[in-house]
Amino acid sequence: MRKIEVGFSPVFFNVYDSPNDSIVVIIDVLRATTAICTAFKFGVKEIIPVATIEEALSYKQKGYLVGAERNGLKLDGFDFGNSPYHYMGSNIKDQTIVLTTTNGTQAIETAKNAYKVVIGAFTNLSALCNWLAKQDKSVLLLCSGWKNKLNLEDSLFAGAVVNEITKLSEYDEISDSALCAKYLYNMAKEDPDRFLHHSSHRRRLAKLNLKQDIKYSLTLDLTDIIPILIDNKLVKMKI
Amino acid sequence: MRKIEVGFSPVFFNVYDSPNDSIVVIIDVLRATTAICTAFKFGVKEIIPVATIEEALSYKQKGYLVGAERNGLKLDGFDFGNSPYHYMGSNIKDQTIVLTTTNGTQAIETAKNAYKVVIGAFTNLSALCNWLAKQDKSVLLLCSGWKNKLNLEDSLFAGAVVNEITKLSEYDEISDSALCAKYLYNMAKEDPDRFLHHSSHRRRLAKLNLKQDIKYSLTLDLTDIIPILIDNKLVKMKI
């Protein structure tokens, strides 16, 4: 049976019935999964997501390029934060990057044993949905949220995916969580930026003067690349 | 700081920051919390919520009146299920009832150490909101969901509460989860029955021929009673 479910926070992963038979889409649109898609668009070879700063530091000491963000800010001593604009330089081409973020890389860690783990962002929405709809598998849209709480922008993106893939393919079951996300998306889609105006993380980023990042992160279809987790490394999916 | 948050499933309770300083509203509109409000309307003295069938059975053997439901059905050998219509008889007046249900009583168990735990349903919506708005406390609206997953009807009720109490009082922070629930409610409020048409639990209950229960459970303000948990028993709040 092919179904669609949305986990509005990583804590939902452990109540999900069938991770071993599902494609899990990791969502952290502001900004980790957008940054990851951007890095692949600009030619990175692979990204090693790690959950803790300690692991990131250990890679840094071994000479890796390392991105590290907590609470919206790049950590001192590392090469990048989680702004997509940090991943547009020629210095990343064909490189391996290690990445740890407040929410997104934790969600990847939580889901790593699922059947397949892929990365979703508005910037690869159509490519992702076209691919998902062709797979004979259930889909779990796993929102990274903010410190295990729901956030509006990831929920909205989950709704965008539900909306698209149910147009492209027939699923046997659309869970209440997926309906909820889809309703939100259909309410917001004319003006997502306005819809997110009151969201907590948007306010958090606006304080950090990251309006440019928000605008970029809400842009559709800048790339056809779908990053996929293979042997604990994110690589460009071969389609 | 006074805030409003929605936990779309009991698993959210453990990521909530400040349960000891918050009023937790337990929500299971189809049907446990509606049944509880109905029982108080019809004069029950107290309800002892228990999480397991074993506990319920042990009370039954001691001679208590016991309600027990799993997967939408009354369990054999017990006095009631979780239909509100089971709690309208003169036999419950001034009695103590023990209750275990698939989702609702589990949520009560999860939250029992919060500052205050109260019961919410469409049937006591206005009384509940008027009281909440007067308390100088944060509010966590805890949806029972279905086996730890989000369900549409509890989310909708949470949104109704957010909608009402933000009209009645000023809160310092309205979380993304609360915004999400409120948006859903505002989309659905003209015709909640139609909105819930695709919901999984509604389909589940419709199969059990419980349309009458659904209609009753979506009726506003049948009682002014707010059940509250005191010493692990639900009693009528003295206002």
Sheet holding B173-174, edge to edge: B73-74, B65-70, B96-100, B46-49, B233-236, B227-230, B116-120, B22-27, B138-143, B3-7, B173-174
CB contact under 8 A, A175 and B9: no
Give the tens place of pLDDT for each residue, B143-188.
999 889 999 999 999 999 999 999 999 999 999 999 999 999 998 8
Pick from A15-24, A108-117, A163-172, B2-11: least confident: A15-24
**CA dist A37 → A203, A235, B85 (Å):** 23, 10, 54
Q: To the nearest whole percent, how much of chain B has pLDDT over 90?
A: 82
Pick from A202-211, B97-106, B174-183: least confident: A202-211
Sheet holding A138-143, edge to edge: A73-74, A65-70, A96-100, A46-49, A233-236, A227-230, A116-120, A22-27, A138-143, A3-7, A173-174
Mean pLDDT of the A211-228 span: 95
- Partner residue opposite A177 with nearest CB, options B5, B149, B201: B149
- CA-to-CA distance for A162 and A182, rounded, in angstroms? 6
Q: How far is A212 from chain B (nearest CA, A)?
A: 22
pLDDT confidence of residue B194: 80
Q: Is A235 exposed, middle or buried (0-12, 13-18, 19+ CB in 10 A)?
A: middle
Per-position DSSP letters for B24-65, written without gaps between them: EEEE-TTTHHHHHHHHHHTT--EEEE-SSHHHHHHHHHTT-E
Give the tens place of pLDDT for each residue, B7-65.
999 999 989 888 889 999 999 999 999 999 999 999 999 999 999 999 999 999 999 99
Mean pLDDT across chain B, nearest whole number? 94
pLDDT band at A210 (very low <50, low <70, confident <90, very high): confident
**Best B155, B180, B190, B202 residue to mutate vs chain A (most A CBs within 10 Å):** B180
Q: Residue A7: beta bridge partners?
A: A142
Q: Identify all chain B residues contacting A12, using CB atoms and an 8 Å cutoff.
A: 9, 11, 149
CB contact under 8 A, A199 and B179: yes
Domains and CATH numbers, chain B: 3-226 (3.90.1560.10)
pLDDT band at A87 (very low <50, low <70, confident <90, very high): very high
| Three-class secondary structure of residue A225 per DSSP | coil
pLDDT at B195 over 90: no
Q: Is B187 exposed, middle or buried (0-12, 13-18, 19+ CB in 10 A)?
A: middle
φ/ψ region of B155 (left if φ > 0, alpha if ψ in -120 to 50, else beta) reads: alpha
- The values of phi and psi at residue A199, to 5°, are -65, 145
Q: Which of A152, A186, A159, A188 is nearest to A25 (CA)?
A: A159
Pick from A62-66, A183-187, B66-70, B95-99: least confident: A183-187
CB A73 within 8 A of CB A204: no
What are A's interface residues with B at a Cβ cutoff of 8 A?
5-6, 8-9, 11-12, 14-15, 146-152, 155, 173-177, 179-180, 183-184, 187, 198-201
Q: Identify all chain B residues contacting A173, using CB atoms and an 8 Å cutoff.
A: 200
Q: How far is A15 from chain B (nearest CA, A)?
A: 6
What is the ipTM, given to two decimal places?
A: 0.91
CB A89 within 8 A of CB A184: no
Token pair of B70 as six digits: 């799993």
**Best A179, A190, A204, A205 residue to mutate vs chain B (most B CBs within 10 Å):** A179
Q: How far is A177 from chain B (nearest CA, A)?
A: 6
CB contact under 8 A, A8 and B8: yes
To which H or E segment does residue A137 belong? Answer: none
| Three-class secondary structure of residue A7 per DSSP | strand
Give the tens place of pLDDT for each residue, A55-76.
999 999 999 999 999 988 999 9
Q: How far is B154 from chain A (nearest CA, A)?
A: 11
CB contact under 8 A, A150 and B200: no
- CA-to-CA distance for B139 and B132, rounded, in angstroms? 8
pLDDT confidence of residue B137: 97
Give Cα A92 distance to the centre of its chain: 20
- The values of phi and psi at residue B236, to 5°, are -75, 125
CB A27 within 8 A of CB A158: yes
Taking CA–CA distances from B150, the nearest residue in chain A reads: A177
Locate tokens 């804590």: which residue?
A: A11
Q: How far is A172 from chain B (nearest CA, A)?
A: 12
pLDDT confidence of residue A190: 84
φ/ψ region of A184 (left if φ > 0, alpha if ψ in -120 to 50, else beta) reads: alpha
